[in-house]
Amino acid sequence: MTDASDDTAIDRNELAEFMAYLERRNAGEREFLQAAREIAAAVLPFTREHPEYRDARILERLMEPDRIITFRVCWERDDGGVEINRAWRVQLSGALGPYKGGLRFHPSVNASILKFLALEQSLKNSLTGLPLGAGKGGADFDPKGRSDREVMRFCQSLMTELARHIGPDTDVPAGDIGVGTREIGYLFGHYRRQKNAFEGALTGKGLAFGGSPIRREATGWGCIYFLEEMLEAHDRGLDGLRVAISGAGNVALYAAEKALERGATVLTLSDSGGAIHDPEGLTTEKLREIMALKFERRGRLREYADKHSGVEFREKSNPWGVEVDVALPCATQNELDRASAERLIRGGVFAVCEGANMPCTAGAVDALRDANVLFAPGKAANAGGVAISGVEQTQNATRMPWSAERVNEQLREIMQSIHRKCVDAYDEPKGKVNDYVRGANIAGFRRVADAMLAYGVV
């Protein structure tokens, strides 16, 4: 018989040993190692009770991508100059279905970031219950300040190479930071032409050519559906709560839309230029204006603040200094650190739900846990986007479009079932809020691990 402190010591030693192994194999890959540590901290104690996973070294195998494809993307600027970018596709795990995950276009993109995103994707996709493997890709291309034609030429050049590695039964990319409807249109148009096949090799497509209703909204809306489940399980509701959201992209703006619909007061948004704080709260009309600014004109939030007296703009800052009940980080990784978490805690926050992938640093997550704040990790809370990508694949495969109502119903059900899986996988001792980090990692791991065990050593 061991007592709790013995267990903690064993957990710590095992984690240190596992991380030393991963660090040797993935030296300097900060984001990948950060994501891997969170998963290992939850899964290692679980596999102690399930030695079959250990004997087959399932966790180590999951953390070694099936393959990583790297390639050069050359394209011509409007002025005739030649640009060279680097692109990747990380095909991490095909255990549960064709590789699935977005493409990111951002100057910071590198192998570590894409490996972390693909690893998160593996457990997230598993949690959806759909037949989705895990991948991620992208390029160190910065779409900011580029004309539509330049973006088109870049997408076409990238797809010239990527097309040979993807397909509806092989690997199905979608959007992520810097890749939205415009980019998916250019990418799909070039894929279709090269392969001479109209097939669901990408998701997030326009409605006119095989896209699904609600795919654009799915990540943000799904995040709010998860938040509602989490609040309800702790005897709270969203109506009347003050919410801080970061980001002003696909995830953030649709999370804001659904939060408003549910009666919450949304006080903040942010972009790479800084954060806006509207002490009166956004209205549907204000949000429409911001959506037009960000999605149609590709403008900056600063312009919005300049036009609206009473809206404060904090240059190069984040929204975490504002007193709120709920925080939804929806921009990018590591955007909410321990100091920000402590500020939120002092301001009385009681729920943090990750719309982005790994927006909270490990220190922030520790601080929130110590303060007994409800915390939903991205792999659970933002799974609605990839879930509706899965639904888009179904519609493409059957050549039968679904109604918006049916897709939204499916989204709600999937987010509810993910919440249930997290709670069922890990029971927190009484008096503490549920540990969704442990729950999501264990439940997500279990399904992939069972498939991998069934396949034998491959």
Q: Catalog residues that contact ligand NDP under the rule CB under 6 A.
A: 175-178, 180, 219, 247-252, 271-273, 330-332, 355-357, 382, 385
Q: Which does 185 bind (CB under 5 to 8 A by kind): ligand NDP, ligand 2IT, none?
A: none
Secondary structure letter of residue 315 according to DSSP: E
CB of 356 vs ligand 2IT, minimal distance in Å = 9
CB of 174 vs ligand 2IT, minimal distance in Å = 3
Nearer to ligand 2IT, 168 or 321 (CB): 168
A 10 A CB-CB count for 329 gives: 30
Residue nearest to ligand NDP (CB): 249
Q: Which does 178 bind (CB under 5 to 8 A by kind): ligand NDP, ligand 2IT, none?
A: ligand NDP
CB of 129 vs ligand 2IT, minimal distance in Å = 15
Nearer to ligand 2IT, 184 or 373 (CB): 184
Secondary structure letter of residue 137 according to DSSP: E
Tokens matching residue 275: 């954060």
Catalytic residue among 100, 115, 124, 136: 136
Using CA atoms, how far apart are residues 329 and 269, in angstroms rounded to an integer? 9
Active site residue 205: no
Residues of span 109-148 touching ligand 2IT by CB under 6 A: 121, 124
Residue with the two structure tokens 């997408």: 155
Among 85, 357, 361, 410, the residue binding ligand 2IT under the rule CB under 6 A is: 357
Sign of the Cα torsion 238, 241, 247, 249 reads positive
Please, which residues have CB within 8 angstroms of residue 442's CB and are 6 or more apart in sequence?
Answer: 42, 43, 46, 425, 426
Q: Give me the sheet containing 67-76, strands edge to edge.
A: 67-76, 82-93, 134-139, 99-105, 171-174
CB of 7 vs ligand 2IT, minimal distance in Å = 33
Nearer to ligand 2IT, 66 or 289 (CB): 66
Binding mask 285-304 for ligand 2IT (x = CB under 6 A): --------------------
The enclosing H or E element of 343 equals: helix 338-346
Residue 386 contacts ligand 2IT per CB under 6 A: yes
Binding mask 388-427 for ligand 2IT (x = CB under 6 A): -x--------------------------------------
Binding mask 164-193 for ligand 2IT (x = CB under 6 A): ----------x-x-----------------
Label the pairing between strands 274-277 and 312-315: antiparallel
Q: What is the 3-state secondary structure (H, E, C) of 198-237?
A: CCCCCCCCCHHHCCCCCHHHHHHHHHHHHHHHHHHHCCCC
Secondary structure letter of residue 336 according to DSSP: B
Q: Is 371 in contact with 345 (CB distance < 8 Å)?
A: yes
Residues involved in catalysis: 136
Contact set with ligand 2IT (CB under 6 A)? 100-102, 121, 124, 174, 176, 203, 357, 385-386, 389
